[in-house]
Chain A
Amino acid sequence: MGFLFYSAPHAQDRPQDEALVVGAKKFTESVILGEMAVQLIRRSGVAAKYQRELGGTRLLWKALLTGEIDLYPEYSGTLIHEIFAGLPIADLAQLDVVLANAGVHMTQQLGFNNTYILGMRKTHAADLGINKISDLIAHPELRLGFSNEFMQRGDGWPGLRGRYRLPHKNVRGLDHDLAYRGLASGALDVIDLYSTDAEIDYYRLRPLEDDLGHFPAYYAVYLYRAELAAHHPDIVAKLKQLEGRIDNAAMRGMNARVKIERQPEAAVAAAFLQEALALDAQIKPDTTFTRFIRNSREHLALVLLSLSAAILVAIPLGILSAKRQGAGRLILAITGVLQTIPSLALFVFMIPLLGIGAPPAIAALFLYSLLPIVRNTYSGLHDIPAAIRESAIAIGLPAGARLLKVELPLATRSILAGIKTSAVINVGTATLGALIGAGGYGQPILTGIRLDDMGLILEGAIPAAVLALLVQGMFDLIERFILPRSLRYC
């Protein structure tokens, strides 16, 4: 339970008048629910910042504990079985108590239960008169196709078969998306699904009732910090208006409007708030252009800060490596190891130290940018011919002047090449920053992957590629400007 004592010192004392921060996981339903909270906060006249598509439950939970986010949508099943796994929590009331100990409050559940269910084609189910899972016992001839995870999980097929005493022999494990298509084409009769999947309506499926209550409940709730209740009771009251208001069909409909009809999450959330709470939310639709400007600003900030810090640190390290053999071996080894850490892992390692958002992304990008510059500074200095190095000594220049007037100018080409390599890696890797809330060109890429929308993916990928080329071109220009003509083409 170590995470209960977890704290990031910087985040605790955020001033009250600052914007509230709403988090969301990286799947559509969570993004829609987060969007609703954002709109409710803004309607109360309080500024809200939306950290959407953060990379994982743990990340959000920790960010909530440290106060980097003020609230986010979560599921009761995730809290009980994942975050508080090992604690005996029987119901939502007990969960409330455990949460309160961590300084976190929870709304009542919002009205839907996004858990595993089984589904059939509507027409097929009607023909056979099947409404609930128990009804399957009478039809052992049905062909079952389950996602691989469902086949493995204890509460998946093995548990389900035992609980209902299902007689079916024809059971296959396959990819979830393929299962939908198999069902639609008639190759399969029963598949597993999440109860709020947008595809349920799209493929005209009939969810079968879990009449023995086998699957754990995944009720959606909002988690929020105790301080929010103290400082913004009106906002908490507004959130609580959503309790019990979103049923499975409503959530499924909203998921479908985003995933299948491609409506923006903000519009879908606003429409629901208007319909359910009669709140006419004034949402500013995010145009492609404003999104592009925001992503560019965030991405540039990540790249410029991390790269300039890396240049300032790596060149002296490279000089030290070239001058002191022992230190050099150590420095090159350490920066080399940093480079071998998979970039996503490096981003995640920074979270306990720096929380979420731009700071940990900048720190990770900084570490990632060191090696090419250190190595090229080292080799640029190391490769200066002995005759030239010795001439500088022999004419009487002291060490500092030798470095500044002779050695560094001669290593400039190599150092600039290192910086260029770092810059290109940096621009590309910065797209991962979106996973930890740093925004940038990674944001449309993440959303595009989530919605299977190639246009959105390109909205992030193309500017990132162009930026990499621009940065490279900029350093080519710098090189032309600062290198004397005698060194340019050697």
Chain B
Amino acid sequence: MLRLKNVTRHFAGRPAVRDFTQEINAASTTVLLGPSGCGKSTILRLIIGLLEADSGEIYFQDSLISQANVADLRPRIGYVIQDGGLFPHLSAKSNVSLMARHLNWDTDRINARLEGLSRLVHLPLDLLDRFPSELSGGQRQRVSLMRALMLDPDLLLLDEPLAALDPMIRYELQQDLKGIFKEMHKTVVLVTHDIAEAAYLGDDILLMRAGRLVQRGSMQALLEAPAEPFVEQFIRAQRDPAKAIAKAPAKGMGESL
């Protein structure tokens, strides 16, 4: 489905992705997990062609991605970023249907697709007439997801799609995403630094550090057989709310969140 071979990319002389070789499985959710700056977002940007690799090759459905063909491949790849990247001058509906209109889909086809997607992402159709600035953060991400799915792509790339949302909304959207992934049966690559989110959504987790893969497997495997101390360190670097209260009884609730 998606194959990266010896991919390397530098930023201002510093390597962001180093000699990265991995294959992404079709029809499953792969999570790129790791601390900030580990190169996980860069990999998504290399796949969608917003960046070019210094060296190495990326194959999508057995075709080598290059600057020459990436424009043709993009309609088959959906891409969602942290704050949605919605076009502020267009209504949610126009945001979602922009590319379809560019491809001259007829109105009936567009409307049918919009209805189907609004059901899939749990966003009431009437909200689609609003502008992005008139929607909540969670609603915006649902619109952004609709836009990414509009052309029914084979691959969905999600770059920290929930990172900017508050915990309640994030919790709800994580649940919805899980359902959507299951229903769609698509190849999904999700970038996150949230371990719980990776565990909840990911079939296959690639834990990265400093541009390299540290360990690949299920969360279970990472927990039970960490390949190196960093794996355990990273996974345990998350506070359990119950323990946080026990350790710091004098401080307020806000502190532990």
- Segment of A221-229, A232-240, A352-360, A394-402 in the binding face: A394-402
Which of these, A390, A397, A412, A484, contacts B90 with CB under 8 Å?
A484
- With A395-B147, A396-B99, A401-B102 given, is the CB distance from A387 to B89 under 8 Å? no
Closest to A405 in B: B98
Interface residues of A (CB under 8 A from B): 387-388, 390-398, 401, 405-406, 409-410, 412, 483-487, 490
Find out whether the CB atom of B83 lies under 8 angstroms from the CB atom of A397.
no
**Does B48 contact A394, Cβ atoms closer than 8 Å?**
yes
Partner of A410, one of B50, B84, B89, B99: B89
A72 to B73, CA, bound (A): 73
Contact pattern, B 68-83, Cβ under 8 Å of A = 1, otherwise 0: 0001001101010101
- Write the nearest CB–CB distance from A409 to chain B, whole angstroms: 5
Structural contact, B71 and A398, CB atoms closer than 8 A: yes
In the assembled complex, the CB of A417 is this many whole angstroms from the nearest CB of chain B, namely 16
Q: In the complex, what's the smallest C-beta–C-beta distance from B105 to chain A, in angstroms?
A: 13
Q: Which residues of B contact A (CB under 8 A)?
A: 48-50, 71, 74-75, 77, 79, 81, 83-91, 98-99, 102, 131-134, 147-148, 151
**Cα A59 to Cα B151 with chains together (Å):** 67
Residues of A near B99 (CB, < 8 A) are: 395-397
Shortest distance from the beta carbon of B188 to any chain A beta carbon, whole Å: 16
Contact between A486 and B89, CB atoms less than 8 A apart: yes
The 29 listed contacts between A and B (C-beta, < 8 Å) are A387-B81, A388-B86, A388-B87, A388-B88, A390-B85, A391-B79, A391-B81, A391-B85, A391-B86, A391-B87, A392-B87, A393-B49, A394-B48, A394-B50, A395-B98, A395-B99, A396-B71, A396-B75, A396-B99, A396-B151, A397-B99, A410-B89, A484-B131, A485-B131, A486-B88, A486-B89, A486-B131, A486-B134, A490-B88
Check if A487 sits within 8 Å of B85, measured CB to CB: no
Residues of B within 8 A of A398 (CB): 71
Contact, CB under 8 Å: A406 / B131: no
Q: Chain B contacts of A390 at CB under 8 A?
A: 50, 81, 85
| Contact between chains at B88 and A395 (CB < 8 Å) | no
Chain B contacts for A391, CB-based, 8 A: 79, 81, 84-87
CB distance from B81 to the nearest CB of A (A): 6
Complex CA gap A483/B89 in Å reads: 8
A-B contact count (CB 8 A): 68
CB distance from A381 to the nearest CB of B (A): 14
Q: How far does the alpha carbon of A132 sit from the alpha carbon of B213 in the complex, in Å?
A: 109
- Per the bound structure, the CA–CA distance linking A396 and B151 in Å amounts to 10
Main secondary structure of the interface of A (DSSP, over half): helix
Cβ-defined contact, B102 with A397, below 8 A: yes
A484 to B91, CA, bound (A): 9
Indicate if the CB atoms of B50 and A486 lie closer than 8 Å. no
Contact residues in B for A412 (Cβ distance below 8 Å): 89
Contact status A394-B88, CB under 8 Å: no
Nearest 5 interchain pairs by C-beta = A391-B85, A486-B131, A396-B74, A394-B79, A396-B75
In the bound assembly, the distance between CA atoms of A410 and B102 in angstroms comes to 18
**Which residues of B sit under 8 angstroms from A484, Cβ to Cβ?**
89-91, 131
List chain A residues, Cβ under 8 A from B81.
Answer: 387, 390-391
Q: Which residues of B contact A405 (CB under 8 A)?
A: 98, 102
> Could you say which residues of chain A place their CB within 8 Å of the CB of B89?
406, 409-410, 412, 483-484, 486-487
**What are the residues of chain B within 8 A of A487 when measuring CB–CB?**
88-89
Report how far A478 CA is from B87 CA in the complex, Å: 21
Q: Considering only CB atoms, which chain B residue lies closest to A487 in the complex?
A: B89
Q: In the complex the two chains form, is B87's CB within 8 Å of A393's CB? A: no
B74 touches A395 (CB 8 A): yes
Which residue of chain A is the closest to B144 with respect to CB atoms? A391
Q: In the complex, which residue of chain A has the Cβ closest to the Cβ of B49?
A: A393
Closest Cβ of chain A to B82, distance in Å, is 8
Contacts of B79 in A (CB 8 A): 391, 394-395
CB-CB nearest in chain A for B157: A394
Q: In whole angstroms, what is the CA distance A349 to B49 when docked? A: 50
Q: In the bound complex, how far is the Cα of B71 from the Cα of A398, in angstroms?
A: 7
| Chain B minimum-CB-distance residue to A387 | B85
In the complex, A390→B79 CA distance in Å? 10
* Cβ contact within 8 Å between B98 and A388: no
Contact of B88 among A392, A393, A410 (CB under 8 A): A410
- Bound CA span A485–B131, Å: 9
Q: How far is the CA of A396 from the CA of B132 in the complex (A)?
A: 20
Q: Which A residues are CB-close (under 8 A) to B83?
A: 387
Report chain B residues within 8 Å CB of A395: 74-75, 79, 98-99, 147-148
CB distance from B159 to the nearest CB of A (A): 10
Question: CB distance B90 to A393 under 8 Å?
Answer: no
Cβ–Cβ < 8 Å partners of B98 in chain A: 395, 397, 405
